[in-house]
Amino acid sequence: GAVVSQHPSRVICKSGTSVKIECRSLDFQATTMFWYRQFPKKSLMLMATSNEGSKATYEQGVEKDKFLINHASLTLSTLTVTSAHPEDSSFYICSARVQALNYGYTFGSGTRLTVV
Amino acid sequence: AQSVTQPDIHITVSEGASLELRCNYSYGATPYLFWYVQSPGQGLQLLLKYFSGDTLVQGIKGFEAEFKRSQSSFNLRKPSVHWSDAAEYFCAVEGTGRRALTFGSGTRLQVQP
C-alpha cells in the first residue's frame, strides 16, 4: 500500500521548452506532497511543499515561476519546469506523507530530466 | 532548524561482513527518524523508521537501527551484508511545521565479493 506513481521516469527536452512531471498517489489520498531535487551523488533538497487546493510553499532559493506546482486533487500533484535550461537537468523526486498507521513518507521512482 | 549528518560518504565492506552506517541529527525535540535506500536512478525505499517506543528498530532486508538520544544518533546496522545491499543510504529526520524530511548527505555502500 501507499504507492506513489511518478511519470515520466526519463525525459529529454530542448532548452526553452516546458516539461511536466506527474505524481499520483494510487491507494491513498495525499493532501500534501513534497518535491525534491537531487544532483548527481548528492542528497535530496526539498524544493517545495504542495498542498491540495492551495498554493505551494517554496523553499528559499527555488524560483516559483520556473518550477510550477499544481495540486488540484487529493491524488495528483504536478511539477512543471518552465523554459527549461541545461542547468535544470537533474533528478526530481516526489513524496507524500502517509498519515495512516504512522506510515511515514513514500516516494515516487523519480524523473531524470535532461535539457539539451 | 533540524539537520542530519552522515559522516561517511563512502563505505566498502566485504560480502558477509557486518555493517554500520552512522547518522547524527540535530533537533530540538524527540525526532521522527528514517533510513532510506536508493539504487542508482531510482526512488527511495523505506528501510525503517523510529517514532517512539523501543529504541531498537527492525526494518526490512535484515536491517536494524538504534536510536540513542544521549548521542543524537540513529545508526543503521546489518549483521551480514549481501552484494545486493550495494546502494546509497540516506538518513532523514522529519521536521516540525512543514512536515517534510531533511536528509543527510548519504552514504554510498560498496560490497566486495
Say yes or no: A91 contacts chain B, CB-CB below 8 A: yes
Say yes or no: A44 contacts chain B, CB-CB below 8 A: yes
Q: Closest Cα partner for B51 from A91, A28, A104, A66? A: A104
Per-residue model confidence as pLDDT tens digits over B53-81: 899 999 999 999 999 999 999 999 999 99
Can you give the pLDDT at residue A40? Answer: 79
The b-or-e profile of B25-46 (16+ CB within 10 A means b, else e) is bebeeebbbbbbbbeeebbbbb
Mutation target among B34, B101, B105 for the A interface, most CBs of A within 10 A: B101
Residue B83 cell numbers, joined:
552484494
Q: Categorize the per-residue pLDDT at A15 as very low, low, confident or very high, splitting at 50, 70 and 90.
A: very high
Can you give the pLDDT at residue B8? Answer: 95
Can you give the pLDDT at residue B94? Answer: 87
Place of cell 551480514: B80
Per-residue model confidence as pLDDT tens digits over A53-112: 888 999 999 999 999 999 988 899 999 999 999 999 999 999 998 876 566 889 999 999
Residue B84 cell numbers, joined:
545486493
Residue B99 has pLDDT above 80, yes or no: no
Q: Closest Cα partner for B75 from B113, B104, B39? A: B104
Residue B22 has pLDDT above 60, yes or no: yes
Q: Categorize the per-residue pLDDT at B98 as very low, low, confident or very high, splitting at 50, 70 and 90.
A: low
Cα gap B54→B70, rounded to integer Å: 15
Place of cell 520556473: A66
Residue B24 has pLDDT above 70, yes or no: yes
Per-residue model confidence as pLDDT tens digits over A23-33: 999 988 888 89
Can you give the pLDDT at residue A39? Answer: 83
The b-or-e profile of B90-102 (16+ CB within 10 A means b, else e) is bbbbbbeeeebbb
Rounded to the nearest integer, the mean pLDDT of chain B is 92
